[in-house]
Amino acid sequence: MYLAMTTDGKTLESNISQRFEECKYLLVVNTNDLSVNAIEKSDDVTLESLAQKVIELNCEGIITGVIGHLEAFNILADAYVTRFLGAGYSGTEALDLMAKRELQLIKTITGSDHCDGNHDHNH
């Protein structure tokens, strides 16, 4: 399985970025052999295209910080990419916690793992 991570550096020892928007690298990790493809996020890359890249690279999940950008969040959510909150951990630590099912899921744009009840029923 392929898993994306937004990080401050280009290895699994790098820290997961605090916010999706602030990452310096997108790591694509093959969870079978822990091989890593590091993609540097340049200033001209939009957050929408970064989210789309996760999908194009067949990542089933992403370990990141809070995803505060609505369009990027929706792109990932609409593609059924599982979102894990891993800010504060290294990539290696986050993978271990994910395997133990100890990483919080990101279910809302605020980064929480529960429904906040704020729904627009007019659509």
In total, how many domains does the chain have? 1
Residue 88, pLDDT above cutoff 80: yes
The predicted pLDDT at position 43 comes to 85
Phi, psi of 79 (to 5 degrees): -95, 5
119 within some domain: no
Q: pLDDT averaged over the chain?
A: 90
Tokens linked to 45: 């890359």
Buried b (16+ CB within 10 A) or exposed e, 34-47: eebebeebeeeeeb
Range of the domain at 15: 2-105
101 within some domain: yes
Q: Residue 74's domain is classified under what CATH number?
A: 3.30.420.130
112 within some domain: no
How far apart are alpha carbons 49 and 119 in whole angstroms? 27
The pLDDT tens digits of the residues spanning 27-79 come to: 999 999 999 999 999 988 899 999 999 999 999 999 999 999 999 999 999 99
16 within some domain: yes
